[in-house]
Amino acid sequence: MTGERRLPVVFPPETDERLSSWVARMASFYAMTVPEFLAELGLSGRDPFDLEWRLSDGEGALIVARTGLTVEAIQAMTFQEFTPDARMMITRKDRHHCPLCPDDVHRKSLALPWVFRCPVHGADLQDATGATLPEMLGDARMAALATHAKAGSVILNAWARGAGQGILGAPEMLAVLTARHRRASPPSLAEQPRMSLQTRRDYHEFLTMPILRQALTVVVPEYDLVAPVLAKPVRPGLYGLAQGSLLQGFALTAGIGRLVEDPVALAIAVLLASDTDGQGRVQDALRSWPLSLRRRISARLWRAKRDERDRRIAQTPTRRRQSHEYRRVQSHEYRSRIS
C-alpha cells in the first residue's frame, strides 16, 4: 500500500534524533511493527539501520511523499556526513543513557563513543550500571580531564566527518594510546581490592592474572588510578573507542586531547615508561606519525636517556638498592620534568 496519500499524523523529528528512532516512534503510534511501517512508506524489506546510514534520493522522496517532512529534515536524521571508516563507531542502541531523555527518543550523538553529555539536556551520561563519569573519576580528576576530553571530541568529530584534523589524526593517536608499552603483569597492590588473607588465597588466580599494560595509563594516569583492574585494558586502535566502556571512551578521548597538545613530550614519557619489548611496540605505533614529529621525539629521547644515564652514574653507590618501586618513581620524575 504505497499511495501518495499523506499519513494523518506525522511526528516532527526530535533534536538530533536518528532515523531508526523516528521510524520506531511512528510505527508504534500506528500500532505497527517497524517492517510494517517501512512497507507503508514504500520501503518494504529495508533495514532501518542501513537506511539511516545512507538514504538514497529515491528512498528520501518516498518518505517525503508520505510524511510531508522536508528532504533536509529526513537526511538530518541519517549519518550521511560520516565517512565509511567511522561507521564502526555508530552503535544501533544508545551507548550510554541520559536520565532526562524520553525512552523512545534516540539521538545520533548518543551512538558515538566520544559524547559524554546529552546534547539536549547537558546531563552527564550514565553507563549500564547507572554510574556517571564524575562519580567514577571524582570531581578533581574530572576537572583535570575535561578540557582535554573536549579537545579530543573535536578531533574525533572532525575525523568521523572526514574533515582536516591537523598534523596528527585520531587513528594514529589511538594506535599509540593502545600500544602495550610494558609486558602484561598481575594487579599491583594498589590495583587490588582490599581482601583478607583467606580471600587472597581464594582469589589467587585473579591476583596472578596478567593484565595488559598500555600507553593510555601513562598519558591519562587518572584513568589508571580509577579503572577497575580487569576492565583496564582497552582494545587496540579504533576498536578501543568503538567497543570501549563509558570510562574507556572518556580516557581515550582525553588521551587524544592531551597527545595533540604536546605529542613529543607525551611520546617520550611513554617510551621512558616502557620496557624493552614495549618500546618496540610503541615505536611501531609511532611509525604512523609524521616524520617531523618522529625526528623531534628521537632527538629528545636520546637526550633524556643520556641524562638518565648520567644521573645513574652519579648515584652509583645506591644503585644496588634500586628496587622496582624506585625505578617507577624515577621514570615518573622524568615525565614531569620533560612535560
Return residues touching Zn ion (CB under 5 A): 98, 100-101, 118, 120-121
**Assigned C-alpha cell, 56:** 538514497
**Surface-to-core class of residue 72, CB atoms within 10 Å of its CB (0-12 exposed, 13-18 middle, 19+ buried):** exposed
Question: What minimum distance in Å lies between the beta carbon of 80 and Zn ion?
Answer: 23
Nearer to Zn ion, 115 or 270 (CB): 115
Q: Distance (Å, rounded) from C-alpha 331 to C-alpha 308? A: 9
Give the per-residue SS3 of 165-185: CCCCCHHHHHHHHCCEEEEEE
CB atoms within 10 A of CB 219: 27
Cβ–Cβ < 8 Å for 105, 14: yes
Nearer to Zn ion, 118 or 269 (CB): 118
Q: Distance (Å, rounded) from C-alpha 184 to C-alpha 187? A: 10
Go through 281-290 and write b for each residue having 16 or more CB atoms within 10 A of its CB, e for each that does not. bbbebbeebe
**Assigned C-alpha cell, 238:** 579504533
Question: What minimum distance in Å lies between the beta carbon of 94 and Zn ion?
Answer: 10
Nearer to Zn ion, 6 or 121 (CB): 121
Nearer to Zn ion, 100 or 230 (CB): 100
Nearer to Zn ion, 127 or 275 (CB): 127
Question: What minimum distance in Å lies between the beta carbon of 48 and Zn ion?
Answer: 21
Nearer to Zn ion, 51 or 118 (CB): 118
Question: What minimum distance in Å lies between the beta carbon of 96 and Zn ion?
Answer: 11
Cβ–Cβ < 8 Å for 273, 335: yes
**Residue 189 to residues 219, 230, 330, Cα–Cα distance (Å):** 21, 14, 19
Q: Distance (Å, rounded) from C-alpha 79 to C-alpha 63? A: 17
Question: What minimum distance in Å lies between the beta carbon of 123 and Zn ion?
Answer: 6
In the chain, the N- to C-terminal Cα span, in Å, equals 66
Q: CA nearest 140: which of 219, 221, 82, 195? A: 221
Question: What minimum distance in Å lies between the beta carbon of 101 and Zn ion?
Answer: 3
Question: What minimum distance in Å lies between the beta carbon of 109 and Zn ion?
Answer: 10
Nearer to Zn ion, 69 or 118 (CB): 118
